[in-house]
Amino acid sequence: MASPEKTLVRSLQRGLQIINVVAAEGPIHAKLVARAVKLPLPTAYHLLRTLVHDDYLVRLDDGSYVLGKSCRAAAALAPDTRELQCLAGLN
């Protein structure tokens, strides 16, 4: 039987870490995101670009990132989760 660590999807974990950092610190620039999640800058850019494409994040004109529609929609579906709603700007 495979250990739980071997069945995890590392890129998904990294993407979720990025979302958490942006939720807590945003607006935030890619360099600071990479540093916060301990990723090489090119890797952070690839993940950020994917998260923007799927509307989990929005890239602002100044190059910083904030939560996107998909994160706000997820927060709206969890009305009892005040912290998530606050992070998504719904309060």
Residue 63 lies in a domain: yes
pLDDT of residue 52: 96
Residue 2 lies in a domain: no
Residue 68 lies in a domain: yes
56 lies in which domain range? 9-87
Residue 4 lies in a domain: no
The CATH number linked to 77 is 1.10.10.10
Residue 45 has pLDDT above 60, yes or no: yes
Of residues 66, 91, 67, the one with CA closest to residue 81: 91
More confidently predicted of 40 and 83: 40
Residue 3 lies in a domain: no
**What are the pLDDT digits (tens) for 6-35?**
778 999 999 999 999 998 898 999 999 999
User: For 78-83, what is the mean pLDDT?
Assistant: 55
Question: How many domains does the chain divide into?
Answer: 1
HSE-CB at 27 with a 13 A cutoff on CA atoms is: 8
